[in-house]
Amino acid sequence: MRQAELELIVNVQIQFFLLLQSRRDLRYVHESIRRIRTQLEAAESFVDVGVAPYVNVLQNKVELAQAREQRILTENTIRTCEIQLNQYLGYAPNEKVTYAGALEEYPQKVE
């Protein structure tokens, strides 16, 4: 019995930190999307006035599509972590539970 409890505790902790990491990653992805949109707008402006090749616009569009795909993957990871935590803690998989916290709140110790 004690071993099962310890495994559950470890699994909850791991899943919780994966959730926090994924939320942090999502913030980075959103920042990246904003940056790429700005670059795309600039590239389009440069192409419009004839000082840059259209390939720059295409490159930015590809980067934006990749960043959007990464956003979807990260959002899916977050949802998977929430469902897994719900199951570990005895909630229904689709029950809305607020898991609060941020990685920055926990000390990072490297040995």
Answer whether residue 33 is part of any domain: yes
Residue 8 neighbours by CB under 8 Å, 6+ apart: 88
Answer whether residue 96 is part of any domain: no
Q: Estimate the share of the chain in helix, then strand, then coil, as percent rounded to the nearest 5.
A: 75, 0, 25
Residue 85 neighbours by CB under 8 Å, 6+ apart: 12, 15, 16, 19, 97, 99
pLDDT-derived band at 102, boundaries 50, 70, 90? confident
Going by C-alpha positions, the residue among 63, 83, 93 that lies closest to residue 19 is 83
Answer whether residue 111 is part of any domain: no
Specify the pTM: 0.85
Answer whether residue 103 is part of any domain: no
Q: What is the CATH number of the domain that holds 53?
A: 1.20.58
Contact status, residue 68 vs residue 30, Cβ threshold 8 Å = no
At residue 110, does pLDDT exceed 60?
no
Answer whether residue 109 is part of any domain: no
Q: pLDDT per residue over 59-87, tens digit each?
A: 999 999 999 999 999 999 999 999 999 99
Domain of residue 18: give its range: 2-91
Q: pLDDT per residue over 28-60, tens digit each?
A: 999 999 999 999 999 999 999 999 999 999 999
Answer whether residue 105 is part of any domain: no
Q: How many domains does the chain have?
A: 1
SS3 60: helix
Answer whether residue 81 is part of any domain: yes
Answer whether residue 101 is part of any domain: no
The alpha carbon torsion through 96, 97, 100, 103 (nearest 10 deg) reads: -80
